[in-house]
Amino acid sequence: MKISNTPNTSSTITGFILLGFPCPREGQILLFVLFSALYLLTLMGNGSIICAVRWDQRLHTPMYILLANFSFLEIWYVTSTVPNMLANFLSDNKLISFSGCFLQFYFFFSLGSTECFFLAIMAFDRYLAICWPLHYPTLMTGRLCANLIISCWVLGFLWFLIPIIIISQMSFCGSGIIDHFLCDPGPLLALTCEKPPVIELVFSTLSPVPLIIPFVFIMGSYALVLRAVLKVPSAAGRKKAFSTCGSHLAVVSLFYGSVLVMYGSPTSEHEGGMQKIVTLFYSVVTPLLNPVIYSLRNKDMKKALQKFLRL
């Protein structure tokens, strides 16, 4: 991997410079304290859900097993960016190595893809529970649940492997400065010396698929759920059915809303500051809010968390 000042001369350098959030030293320290607190709260919130599901026998069902795995995923998702961001707040050079940059790129987008797949199978679980309540125990077995979870992780981590390998073999020109707090593909590709059409086509084709296909699957699942719920004669029955989906729909709206704003339109349409804010929302704020959403809207989870916190 090389970076050159001109297309004809190249020299190996130690890495890229992540500008992050440029501000005076005092502001950097304040941001360090703020994001350290957010990071710890995210770890505690998602960790509490994992422990509650693990220790409460009533939550040993596919719905909560998927939720515990989702919380485990969220912990690693936020960990792929925040620790390096915290180190940069206290750093003078804000340097990240080539290997560190592409490892962050790979893990951040692989975990993001895995999150999309998890949201899809969680919607599928709700579809089976509401549309096929009598057959649900025989359809959503422990074995099927485990296979779906493994498939999410495998697909998520395989999908971006080829694009990452392709981009890592390209040469980079200019100063090596990335106006972002992570190795995002937009600013990173802007530093490449040449942009072969084939590479751009491969990346632009493969990248949206983990977003679009799960999103269409989620919308289809909830369309069928809505149709089934509207057929329920009692208002209490409809309310109960909707309440089981409310938390998941809120999480889907938060994640997909921000991601689609970020990647649903050309990168050139977003200013650097807006890119950082939107990326910050779906990569840091959403994992922080997810445990709150699931615990506030779910009585069983609320009771399990209260029981766990009293231990």
Q: What is the pLDDT of residues 66-98, one digit of tens each?
A: 999 999 999 999 999 999 999 999 988 889 988
Ramachandran angles phi, psi of 247, nearest 5°: -65, -45
Quick one: which of 296, 297, 293, 291 has its CA closest to 53? 291
Looking at the predicted structure, is the pLDDT value of residue 10 above 70? no
Q: What is the mean pLDDT of the chain?
A: 85
| CATH assignment, 19-309 | 1.20.1070.10
CA–CA gap between residue 119 and residue 146 (Å, rounded): 15
The two structure tokens encoding residue 108 = 């951040």
What confidence tier does 125 reach under pLDDT thresholds 50, 70, 90? Answer: very high
Give which of 119, 199, 113 is closest to 157, Cα–Cα. Answer: 113
Ramachandran quadrant class, 176 (left: phi over 0; alpha: psi -120 to 50; beta: rest) = left
Structure confidence at residue 41 (pLDDT): 96
Cα–Cα dist 273/223, whole Å: 36
pTM of the model: 0.88
Cβ atoms of residues 152 and 121 within 8 Å = yes
Q: How many residues does the chain have?
A: 311
**pLDDT tens digits along 39-64:** 999 999 999 999 989 988 888 999 99
> Could you tell me what percent of the chain has a pLDDT over 70?
89
Cβ–Cβ under 8 Å, residues 148 and 70:
no
Note the pLDDT of residue 11: 46
Report the alpha-carbon distance of residue 84 to residue 191 in Å, rounded: 21
Categorize the per-residue pLDDT at 111 as very low, low, confident or very high, splitting at 50, 70 and 90: very high
Query: How does DSSP assign 98-123, residue by residue?
Result: HHHHHHHHHHHHHHHHHHHHHHHHHH
Q: 192 - beta bridge partners?
A: 172
Burial class (CB in 10 A: 0-12, 13-18, 19+), 42: buried
Predicted confidence (pLDDT) per residue in 215-253, tens digit:
999 999 999 988 888 887 777 777 777 777 888 888 998
Strands, E assignment, 120-199: 172-173, 177-178
Q: How confident is the model at residue 196 (pLDDT cuts 50, 70, 90)?
A: low
